Structure 1
Amino acid sequence: MLAHKNAPAHTFRKDGIFYFRRRVPTDLSQHYTSRQIAFSLRTRSAAAAATRATRAAQQLDEHWYHLRVKDRDIPGKHLLRMQQSAPLPSGVIQPAAIDGASVKLSEAVAIYLRLKGSNRPVTFRRAAERSCGYVIDICGDKDLLSYTKADATRFRDALIKRELAGSSITRIFGTIRSVINFAASETGVTLTNPFTGIYYDRQLGVKGRATLPSDVIKVVQHDCVKLDDDPRWLVALVSDTGLRLAEAAGLQLGDINVEAEIPHVVVREHPWRRLKTSTSAREVPLVGASLWAAKRLLAKVSDSSFAFPRYNRSGKTNANSASAALNKWLKPMVPERCTMHSFRHSMRDRLRAVECPADIVDQIGGWQTDGIGHGYGRGYPLTVLLKWMKAVEQRGI
C-alpha cells in the first residue's frame, strides 16, 4: 500500500491502482462491522480516481446524514417503522403482512438473525449482513415483495463485475435466499423468491485446493517432530487424521484417548467450537504422526483442559489465527495453493489409493454420505476404520 503525494482525497494507491478509503465516523460505528470503508476505484488515472472518490464521498455523506437523523430522538419516532434489530419482548410475534406489504430486506435480516442467529458463530451474522448488504447497495432496501428477477440479474452482474469467484457468488445467493424465505415464512408472506434460479458460471475463477503429495507430507511431519512444539503438534495431528483445522484446534485433552485398545480422538461439539455438520461428530483412530502428536499433547499440556490453549483464550476457538500462522509456516514446504486444509483433501486421496470404500472414507472425514440408508445405524466400528488407516500408513502413502 503506497502513499502518493498527489493522490486525490480519500484515496491511496496499491500496485498502481487507486483505492477509496474513508474512516467510519465514531458516532455511526454501530452500523458497521469495520472501522473503515475501502474498495478499488478500478483505475490508474489520478483524474478518474478523484472524480470517483468525490462521488463516493458525497454518497457516504448523504447516507451518514440520514443515519444520524434516523438515530436522533425526534417527536413521534416510536411510531416509525423500525428495523427489528433488538430482540422483541417475550411473547411478541412479528406481525404478518398487511395490505400486500411485507418487510424490507434490512428488517428481514434482523428477523433472520434474531431467530436463527443465537449461539451461532460470528461468521453466520457476518454472512447474512454482508450478503444482504450487497443487495441493498445495488438494488436498494426494498419490501421483499418489490424485488424482481431484473433486480436479481442486475445483482448477479454486479458481483461478476467485481470479479468474484463462482463459489463466492453461490454462497452469497444462498444466504440471500435463506434470509428472504425465512422472513417471508415468519411474516406470513407468500412470494416467489426472485433470487432463485439465477444463472452464472459456478466454476468462474474457482481454483481448487491442491492435495499434498506423500513425500511432502513426510517432510512436513519430519519437521513437526524436529521442532516439537504445540503448533507443530496441531499440524501433525491434522496430517494423519484428516480433521478440519477448527475441529483439531478446539479439542479438549479429554477428547484424546491414547490408552484405549485403539487410540483415537473424539470429535464432538463444544460451546467454544461448533461442528460444521451433524456428520462431523465422530471418532477417528490415531496412527502415524497423529498418534505421536496426541502423545506429546497429553505429556506436555498440563495447565489447561484444552489441547491447544493458545487458540482457545477468548471463549471461542480461534481457527483463523491457527490457519494464518500454520499456513505461513507451511508455505515454503508445500506446492502452490496448498494449505492446512490440503491435508484433508490428501487424506481422501490416500484412502482412495488403498481402495477404501467411499462410505468409510466419509465416516473418517466426517463428510456427508448421500442416501437415506446412510443415516441409520451407528456407522463402522473403530476396528474397521483403523484397518484402512493402517493400510495408508503401511503403504507410506
Structure 2
Amino acid sequence: MRGFQLSTSGCFIVTVKYLKQRPSGLYFFRKGIPVDLREYYEGKRELVYSLQTKNEAEAVKRVQRLSKQYEDQFRQLRSTAERDKAVKELKKFGLEDAPLDRQTVFRNGSDPYEDGSPFSEMIEEYSMIADAGGYFDDTRLVPSQRRALQILKREEKFTLEDVKQRALVKVSGNKKKEGEIKRFFKYFHNGNLCGVIDDIRPRDVVDAVDALLSEGKKTTTIKKALGSVRKLFREFSLENDVRVDNPFNNIPIPGLGKDSKKRKACDYAEIKKLKEAIELNLDVVSAQISGLLFNTGCRCGEVSGLLLEDLHLDSDVPYVRIKDNDRRELKTKKSDRHVPLIGLSLEAAKAVKSKASENQIYAFPKYHRDGVFKNDNASAAVNGWLKNHVVGCTSHSFRHTLKDRMYEAGIPKPEIEDLQGWVSGKMVDYYGKSKGLRRLQKVLLKMEEYEGSNGLL
C-alpha cells in the first residue's frame, strides 16, 4: 500500500505509510490486515480510521502511534493463534497442554520415549520433517510444532497476551468481566510490555503508568488496572510454573487519589426541584429510576439493572431487593441488601410495576438488549434527564445526598451504612427480614418527618 507523500523544504519528499487524505482535507489511517489475522477482525481486509485532523504534522504523529499499536496487536494475536494451534497439535498425538512430566498418560510410570508412546510417535513424525543430515533442526518445523515441543520441554515463552487470553477463558460469558480484563490489559500493551514476560521489567510498567497519566487517566483507574493485571499475572505464573518476578508488584502511582473530584450532593432547594420534576414525569423511565434512587441511596446500576420481581410492593414493608442477577453484578458483596421503599421511591416503584407488560422480566427492559445489561446507557440517560432540571446533579448525587439528609435528621451512622450497603452485618440478618426492614423503614420515615416538619421538602 502506497503511503502519503509529504513535501519538505529543499528537494526531499518523505513518504508516510498508512496515511491518506480525503478531498475535504481530513487525514485518515488506512492499514491492511494480514490474511492470517482477518478472522480476529470480523473478516475485514483493512483498518480505516479518521485521524480527526487536517493538520499534517499532527496527522503524522497520530498515524505513527496507530501503526505501532496495530503492529504490536498483530504480533500478540499471532502469538495467541500459534499457541492454540500448538495445543491442537499436542491433542493430535493424545497429549495435553502441559509439560512432559505432568502428562496424565505417563503418570503410571511408563516411559515417554518408549516405542509406540504418544510422545515417541510425535518425535518420530517431527524427525522426518526436521532431519538435517543426522541432527534435529527444529527450524524446519512450522511455528505451532515448535511451540508444542516448547510446551512439553518447559521452554515455552509467554506474553501478556497469553495471560489475558487465559484470564478471559475463566470469565467466559461474563461480559462485564471480559470487558474489564480487555480494557485493563490494553493499558499495558506497548513497547517492551509486548515481549515475552521474562523480559518485562518494573521500569517498563512504570513507563506505561507515566504514559497513562499523560493521557489523562485517573490515578484510581490506573490503580485498579494495575491490581487486576498483577493478580492475573500471579495466577498465570502459578498455573504455568513461570518462575519470574511479577513486574506489576509495588509500582508507584504519582499523585494517587489527588486528582479525584468529590461527588456533588444536592442542597435542599435542588432536592425539592428534582422531587417535583420526578413526580410530574413518572411515566418516563429516567424519572422512574431517579425516583427509586431518591429515597433509597442506591447506585444507578443497582436500580436500572433490577429484575421486576426485586420490587416487593405487597410486603408488610414495601422494599427493593438489591442483589446480583444474571446480567448485573453488584459492586461489592456488602452491596447485597434489602432497602425499604417510602415516599417518592415507593411511588416510582408502583409506576414501574403498573406499566410492566405481561411476562416482563426486567424492571427497565430497554437497558437489557442482546443478553447484556447496558449500564452506561442507563446512567447517561438518567444524567441527561437530571441535567435538564438541576445542573451539576447526577444519578450518583442521590446517594451522597441521602447520606447528608440522614445525618441532618440525626440518623445514627450504623443505620446509614446499612441502607447504603457499606457493612457486612445487615439488620435483616440480625433481626430477621421483617423486623429488620421495619427498623430501617422507621429510619427513613424519621428523615422524611424531619424534613417535612422543618419545611425542607
> For this structure pair, what is the TM-score category when the shorter chain's length is used for normalisation?
0.7 to 0.9
The normalised TM-score by structure 1 is 0.78
Q: Please say if 1:345 is aligned against 2:396.
A: no
Deviation (angstroms), 1:330: 0.9
Aligned to 2:371: 315
Indicate which of 359, 380, 385 corresponds to 1:324: 380
Aligned to 2:322: 267
CA deviation profile, 1:36-79 (whole Å, cap 9, x unmatched): 686989xx9934224324534654675687689x49xxxxx99x
Aligned to 2:269: 215
Q: Please say if 1:354 is aligned against 2:409.
A: yes
Deviation (angstroms), 1:349: 2.3
Q: Please say if 1:378 is aligned against 2:429.
A: yes
Contact 2:72–2:189 (8 Å) recurs in 1: no
Deviation (angstroms), 1:201: 1.2
Deviation (angstroms), 1:214: 2.7
Deviation (angstroms), 1:285: 0.3
Contact 1:83–1:107 (8 Å) recurs in 2: no
Residues 277/37 of structure 1: CA separation in 2 closer, same or farther (3 Å cut): farther
Q: Which whole-Å CA distance do the structure 1 matches of 2:446 and 2:427 have between them?
A: 27
Q: Secondary structure at the match of 2:395?
A: coil
Contact 1:85–1:110 (8 Å) recurs in 2: no
Which amino acid letter does the alignment assign opposite residue 118 of structure 1? S
Q: Which whole-Å CA distance do the structure 2 matches of 1:185 and 1:59 have between them?
A: 31
Q: Which whole-Å CA distance do the structure 2 matches of 1:277 and 1:193 have between them?
A: 27
Contact 1:85–1:111 (8 Å) recurs in 2: no
Indicate which of 192, 197, 208 corresponds to 1:144: 197
Aligned to 2:294: 239
Q: Which whole-Å CA distance do the structure 1 matches of 2:86 and 2:271 have between them?
A: 51
Matches within 5 A, 1:13-24: none
Residues 180/259 of structure 1: CA separation in 2 closer, same or farther (3 Å cut): same
Aligned to 1:48: 57
Q: Please say if 1:334 is aligned against 2:395.
A: no
Which amino acid letter does the alignment assign opposite residue 270 of structure 2? V
Which amino acid letter does the alignment assign opposite residue 55 of structure 1? Q
Contact 1:230–1:308 (8 Å) recurs in 2: no
Indicate which of 346, 363, 384 corresponds to 1:291: 346
Aligned to 1:171: 224
Which amino acid letter does the alignment assign opposite residue 152 of structure 1? V
Residues 24/165 of structure 1: CA separation in 2 closer, same or farther (3 Å cut): farther
Deviation (angstroms), 1:144: 2.6
Q: Which whole-Å CA distance do the structure 1 matches of 2:386 and 2:66 have between them?
A: 41
Residues 190/233 of structure 1: CA separation in 2 closer, same or farther (3 Å cut): same
Q: Please say if 1:131 is aligned against 2:184.
A: yes
Q: Which whole-Å CA distance do the structure 2 matches of 1:133 and 1:378 have between them?
A: 42
Contact 2:419–2:440 (8 Å) recurs in 1: yes
Q: Please say if 1:112 is aligned against 2:121.
A: no
Deviation (angstroms), 1:135: 1.8
Q: Which whole-Å CA distance do the structure 2 matches of 1:58 and 1:240 have between them?
A: 51
Q: Secondary structure at the match of 1:259?
A: coil
Which amino acid letter does the alignment assign opposite residue 327 of structure 1? N
Q: Which whole-Å CA distance do the structure 2 matches of 1:208 and 1:49 have between them?
A: 35
Deviation (angstroms), 1:151: 1.1
Q: Which whole-Å CA distance do the structure 2 matches of 1:367 and 1:148 have between them?
A: 38
Residues 84/300 of structure 1: CA separation in 2 closer, same or farther (3 Å cut): farther
Deviation (angstroms), 1:266: 1.3
Q: Secondary structure at the match of 2:321?
A: strand
Q: Which whole-Å CA distance do the structure 2 matches of 1:38 and 1:297 have between them?
A: 42
Contact 2:428–2:437 (8 Å) recurs in 1: no
Q: How many residues align?
A: 368
Deviation (angstroms), 1:251: 2.1
Aligned to 2:208: 155
Aligned to 1:280: 335
Q: Which whole-Å CA distance do the structure 2 matches of 1:94 and 1:362 have between them?
A: 49
Q: Secondary structure at the match of 1:266?
A: strand
Q: Which whole-Å CA distance do the structure 2 matches of 1:228 and 1:149 have between them?
A: 54
CA deviation profile, 1:133-184 (whole Å, cap 9, x unmatched): 3322133323333221211211121112212221221122122212211211
Residues 251/85 of structure 1: CA separation in 2 closer, same or farther (3 Å cut): farther
- Where structure 2 has 5 or more consecutive residues not aligned to the other structure, the ranges are 1-5, 7-15, 103-150
Contact 1:246–1:317 (8 Å) recurs in 2: no
Residues 223/258 of structure 1: CA separation in 2 closer, same or farther (3 Å cut): same
Residues 129/11 of structure 1: CA separation in 2 closer, same or farther (3 Å cut): farther
Residues 196/45 of structure 1: CA separation in 2 closer, same or farther (3 Å cut): farther
The normalised TM-score by structure 2 is 0.69
CA deviation profile, 1:310-335 (whole Å, cap 9, x unmatched): 22343232222211111111113234
